[in-house]
Structure 1
Amino acid sequence: MKHFFRNEKNKPTDTTEILFNAAEKIPHHIAIIMDGNGRWAQKKFLPRIAGHKEGMNTVKKITKRASQIGVKVLTLYAFSTENWKRPDTEVSFLMQLPVDFFDTFVPDLIKENVKVQVIGFTDQLPLHTKKAVEQAIEDTKNNTGMILNFALNYGSRSEMLEATKQIAEQVKAGELAVEDINEVVFEQQLMTTTLGEYQDVDYMIRTSGEERISNFLLWQNAYSEFYFTKVLWPDFDEAALEQAIGVYQTRHRRFGGI
């Protein structure tokens, strides 16, 4: 089965041709706000949790395809620091999802050579969720392919506040001079520092038609390209990902230049 991207004339183009001729235009770091699970379920007269369950199946499909295309890091906004405000039953289900997801998908991740990482305030997660995450990280630590980076109990403002506090402590302890604080020093305190050269996001995708960042990787998204689609996350399949990347390949990133 062939897969296609859309070129600048919106005509289908064979994926293999695009990858061969423009491999450098594959975004190294894609970040996705997986929005629309609840609305997907509502449209089908199902409970919201059914949407979240189907959304995890989409994660599996998109992870595999992104890895095959050549993406280096795929960061998925799985649970924000604000999501605790949702009904207790929904939060409990969301906290169980990583357990079920990794229980069934880790063998595939190993087969695909995908490495699991997590950013967020994981110390605040329920014990069973935290254990599942830590086990997945351990099981895939030797993989050398794409990094599947889950943002779990993550909020960008809190991340930057914590980074600021850590730098302040270094200054207070005499380990760092104020005049030596720069972007590199700050980035070293962010949760994404383990991503190394791929710390900055190249392409930020949000599904469901909403057009906002929602406290997601505010620093890392400084120069990323944005793509908003009305497709609800459970319906965002491999072809939708390819179409999004096709749009990315038509853009010219200037980084403040000409």
Structure 2
Amino acid sequence: MNKIPNTVAIIMDGNGRWAQQQGLPRTAGHKQGAETIRIVALEANRIGIKKLILYAFSTENWKRPEEEKNYLFKLPGIFFAKYIKELQENNIRVTYAGELERFPQATQTVINKAVAQTADNTGLELCLAINYGARRELILAMRRYAQDVQSGRRGNTIEEADVSNYLMVPEEIDLMIRTSGEFRISNFLLWQIAYAELIFTPVAWPAFDEQALHDCLDEYAHRDRRYGGLTK
């Protein structure tokens, strides 16, 4: 591959449906999905992707059953206890985007510890979108901008680059992937995907592996990204 995207975002969909197809509880799908995070992050780091943003828990996921939410709250602790050493050894830096403060304190502590432990790493940035919603992100950005204008820290003029600086994820997305055959964006990175290439794969997230990632990257490499212009 000679056309690797810098920033890749993935909507990790299909954990529950995958589990039900296997005759397993939905939590088993989430557990296997966490294993997929490791697989995909290591491969993305190996091939030179700079930032991988994974939709781990949306602002709408609070509607899920309590048992499922409680398991999702525990999953970062299980994941990092098992794999933080491997992430460190592979120079992967962990970050997050979203309002983490609404999560249980134990979950916050685990994630903040992983962020601190990997802060000096210079390889792939593995960004977990946790309690994240794009509309909420834009509302919070507008509030911060208004506060800065009101306090005199900046004038009441704004350009596209200024908007990006107020967002939880400032980078533009090159490639967005959604797994499990759904064709929706689901309130994920709405500003940042203005010129992203979108790929919808039928593969459920727990079954998504290195080959599935390469299949998406191969399709991306054959896209003609014109940004509203003409092909030269």
TM-score (norm 2): 0.97
How far, CA to CA, are the matches of 2:148 and 2:36 in structure 1? 42
Q: What does residue 160 of structure 1 align with?
A: 138
Q: What does residue 162 of structure 2 align with?
A: 185
Cα-Cα RMSD:
0.8
What are structure 2's unaligned runs of at least 5 residues? none
How far, CA to CA, are the matches of 2:51 and 2:192 in structure 1? 13
Instruction: Give the alignment partner of residue 51 of structure 1, picking from 29, 37, 52.
Output: 29
AA of the residue aligned to 2:114: A
Instruction: Give the alignment partner of residue 89 of structure 1, picking from 67, 72, 76.
Output: 67
TM-score (norm 1): 0.88
Q: What does residue 254 of structure 1 align with?
A: 226
How far, CA to CA, are the matches of 2:154 and 2:43 in structure 1? 43
* Cα shift at 1:181: 1.1
AA of the residue aligned to 2:82: T
Q: How many residues align?
A: 230
Instruction: Find out whether 1:220 has 2:192 as its counterpart.
Output: yes
Instruction: Find out whether 1:232 has 2:204 as its counterpart.
Output: yes
How far, CA to CA, are the matches of 2:155 and 2:90 in structure 1? 44
CA offsets per residue over residues 142-187 of structure 1, 9 Å max, x none?
A: 1011100000010000000000011111121222222x21111111
What are structure 1's unaligned runs of at least 5 residues? 1-17, 194-198
How far, CA to CA, are the matches of 1:35 and 1:87 in structure 2? 17
Q: What does residue 243 of structure 1 align with?
A: 215
Q: What does residue 207 of structure 1 align with?
A: 179
CA offsets per residue over residues 74-129 of structure 1, 9 Å max, x none?
A: 00000001101000000000000011111111101011100000000011111011
How far, CA to CA, are the matches of 1:120 and 1:211 in structure 2? 23
